[in-house]
Amino acid sequence: MSLLIGLLLAAVPVGADEIKPGSAFLSPEMQRQQQDQGRNPGYLWVEQGEELFSRREGGAPTCTSCHADPKQSLRGAAARYPQVDAASGKLINLEGRIEQCRVDRQKQPAFGYESQDLLSLAAYVASLSRGLPLSVSAEGAAKPYYDAGKAFYERRQGQLNLACKQCHDDLVGQKLRGDTVSHGVGTGYPAYRLEWNGLGSLHRRLRACSLGVRATQFDYGSDDYLALELYLAVRAKDLPMEAPGLRR
209 catalytic, yes or no?
yes
Query: Could you tell me which residues come within 8 angstroms of residue 127 by beta carbon, excluding any fewer than 6 positions away?
Result: 43, 46, 49, 243, 244
Q: Among residues 123, 6, 5, 112, which one has the least CA distance to residue 53?
A: 123
- Whose CB is nearest to ligand HEC? 22
244: contact with ligand HEC by CB under 6 A: no
164: contact with ligand HEC by CB under 6 A: yes
Distance of CA 9 to the CA centre of its chain: 30
Residue 38 CB, nearest approach to ligand HEC (Å): 22
Q: Which is the catalytic residue, given 63, 101, 164, 209?
A: 209
Half-sphere exposure of 78 (CA within 13 A, CB side): 29
Of residues 5 and 37, the one with the C-beta less far from ligand HEC: 5
101: contact with ligand HEC by CB under 6 A: yes
Of residues 44 and 174, the one with the C-beta less far from ligand HEC: 174
The packing angle between helices 223-235 and 143-154, to 10°, is 90
184: contact with ligand HEC by CB under 6 A: yes
Handedness of CA 68, 72, 133, 180 (dihedral sign): positive
Of 117-156, binders to ligand HEC (CB under 6 A) are 121, 125, 153
For residue 142, the tally of other CB atoms under 10 A from its CB is 19
- Residue choice 40, 129, 182, 201 for contact with ligand HEC (CB under 6 A): 182
Of 202-221, binders to ligand HEC (CB under 6 A) are 205-206, 209-210, 212-213
For residue 236, the tally of other CB atoms under 10 A from its CB is 22
**DSSP secondary structure code for residue 245 in this structure:** E
Reduced to 3 DSSP states, what percent helix, strand and coil does the chain have, rounded to the nearest 5? 45, 10, 45
Strand-strand pairing, 91-92 and 83-84 = antiparallel
Q: Which stretch binds ligand HEC (CB under 6 A): 10-18, 34-42, 136-144, 176-184?
A: 176-184
Residue 16 CB, nearest approach to ligand HEC (Å): 19
Of 14-53, binders to ligand HEC (CB under 6 A) are 22, 25
DSSP lists the bridge partners of residue 133 as 240
Residue 91 CB, nearest approach to ligand HEC (Å): 13
Q: Among residues 246, 192, 209, 234, which one has the least CA distance to residue 82?
A: 234
Give the residue numbers annotated as catalytic, written as ranges: 209
Which residues bind to ligand HEC, rule: CB under 6 A? 22, 25, 61, 63, 65-67, 74, 77, 80, 86, 97-98, 101-102, 105-106, 121, 125, 153, 162, 164, 166-168, 176, 179, 181-182, 184-186, 188, 191, 205-206, 209-210, 212-213, 228, 232, 247
